[in-house]
Chains A and B, each alone.
Chain A
């Protein structure tokens, strides 16, 4: 009986319906509801802007601009797309435009010298072990991971953030960045392998030293 209630209440469906209702009301002019509509996604919007601009102040400004643009264009939103994906795509567009406008050359990264079509060979083959998610409770671990991500060349970082952190699918990532699906896959592979090597190096440096790994093993 209790199990039946799960289906009857169907919270996921209820939430989706609530979002659709909010969208419809904002589309009819109830702009005061817009913040309530976008609040669940504000972190993701900010992260998408930061991945492209790499400057917290610019990222916040662009995130706000993107939200304003989304509100101004809310009537163009069609229900066949996910609202969160639509918001992220607007944000990515805004951030890319800002970067072009300011002609910011972000030249950094461990992979700048490698050609995208070339091979990337992993460097570390230590014995592996799952890093427990509790590791992320520690701010220094999150910071180290963020720093590792920041060292990637932007073309890899952008794809990685949109696919693996923002959870866009491959096609959506390609559309948001205006690149081919094949390029997304190539860049994603490199980003993941490079981060793996960077984090393996972090293990050597003791980033995760207070975590309960077995003696003699690495996270991988």
Chain B
């Protein structure tokens, strides 16, 4: 099939839909073809991708200090929310949290001697992702993706591996194509990330890193 050449202006009009995965196969092929030869449009594509990726990071949402406490209080005052009894019952959480912090401190101390994958503390953990799922990473990025995800950077440097291997190397799931695996993520549960970490502990060897 011969793809019809398209103009840069047309590419700019479609770039958002392209990143949404919301273009017909024929148009997608034409856009892909255009990106192979047009540096300007690659700049627009990658810049737009950067915008989406940065703003979708949960660190971009900051709430004022004490927001949660004030919300809880207002719910309680309304007579519909958590009661004082509930708050008192929750007091056991304080020593429990202290114990967790101590335990965490020991773990951090232990971790200092072993190189760790480069992971942001805010990186979305890979809960619920099938470990054997084939995913794609590229040398200059930190996310792993479903093959074909439009958010893969540097496609000429991409390689395929399993989700578990990607996690072990320090890659984090793409918040767009892996969204369905991340929506109900909760740090309190056993995760693929933790499993990869425990394997890493067992192997006691440095990962190759995400870069």
A residues near B (Cβ < 8 Å) are 2-3, 5-7, 9-16, 19, 31-36, 39-40, 42-44, 46-47, 56, 60, 63-64, 67-68, 71-72, 82, 84, 119-122, 124-137, 142, 145-146, 149, 160, 164-165, 167, 170, 185, 188-189, 192-193, 195-196, 199-200, 219-220
Q: Cβ of B44 and Cβ of A122 under 8 Å apart?
A: yes
Q: Is B104 an interface residue (CB 8 A)?
A: no
Q: Cβ of B54 and Cβ of A145 under 8 Å apart?
A: yes
Q: Cβ of A3 and Cβ of B131 under 8 Å apart?
A: yes
Interface of A is mostly: helix
Q: Is B36 an interface residue (CB 8 A)?
A: no
Q: Cβ of A35 and Cβ of B81 under 8 Å apart?
A: yes
Cβ–Cβ < 8 Å partners of B78 in chain A = 68, 71
Which residue from B17, B64, B128 sits with its C-beta under 8 Å from A10? B128
Q: Cβ of A46 and Cβ of B72 under 8 Å apart?
A: no
State whether A192 and B184 are in contact (beta carbons under 8 Å apart), knowing that A11-B128, A11-B190 are contacts in the complex: no
Q: Cβ of A146 and Cβ of B60 under 8 Å apart?
A: yes
Chain B residues numbered 127-168 whose CB sits less than 8 Å from any CB in chain A: 127-128, 130-132, 140-142, 153, 164
Query: In this complex, what residue of A is CB-closest to B172?
Result: A133
Q: Cβ of A133 and Cβ of B142 under 8 Å apart?
A: yes
Q: Cβ of B61 and Cβ of A165 under 8 Å apart?
A: yes
Which residue from B20, B43, B60, B80 sits with its C-beta under 8 Å from A142? B60
Q: How far is the CA of A40 from the CA of B185 in the complex (A)?
A: 10
Q: Is B92 an interface residue (CB 8 A)?
A: no
Interface of B is mostly: helix
Cβ–Cβ < 8 Å partners of A2 in chain B = 195, 198-199
Q: Cβ of A42 and Cβ of B16 under 8 Å apart?
A: no
Q: Cβ of A199 and Cβ of B47 under 8 Å apart?
A: yes
Which residue from B50, B85, B86 sits with its C-beta under 8 Å from A131? B50
Q: Cβ of B43 and Cβ of A145 under 8 Å apart?
A: no
Q: Cβ of B48 and Cβ of A192 under 8 Å apart?
A: yes
B interface size (C-beta, 8 A) = 72
Q: Cβ of B189 and Cβ of A11 under 8 Å apart?
A: yes
Chain B residues numbered 58-100 whose CB sits less than 8 Å from any CB in chain A: 58-64, 67-68, 70-72, 74-75, 78, 80-83, 85-86
Cβ–Cβ < 8 Å partners of B70 in chain A = 60, 64
Q: Cβ of B43 and Cβ of A220 under 8 Å apart?
A: yes
Which residue from B9, B43, B58 sits with its C-beta under 8 Å from A124? B43
Q: Cβ of B52 and Cβ of A164 under 8 Å apart?
A: yes
22 A-B pairs whose Cβ atoms sit less than 8 Å apart in the complex:
A6-B130, A6-B192, A6-B195, A13-B128, A34-B80, A42-B67, A43-B58, A46-B61, A47-B61, A63-B67, A63-B71, A71-B80, A124-B43, A130-B153, A133-B57, A136-B120, A145-B54, A146-B60, A149-B55, A165-B61, A167-B56, A196-B48
Q: Which 7 A-B pairs have the closest CB atoms?
A: A11-B189, A220-B47, A12-B128, A189-B16, A128-B46, A196-B47, A15-B184
- A142 to chain B minimum Cβ distance, whole angstroms, is 6
Q: Cβ of B141 and Cβ of A3 under 8 Å apart?
A: no
Cβ–Cβ < 8 Å partners of B39 in chain A = 125, 127
Cβ–Cβ < 8 Å partners of A196 in chain B = 44, 47-48, 50-51
State whether A31 and B80 are in contact (beta carbons under 8 Å apart), knowing that A68-B75, A196-B48 are contacts in the complex: yes
- A79 to chain B minimum Cβ distance, whole angstroms, is 14
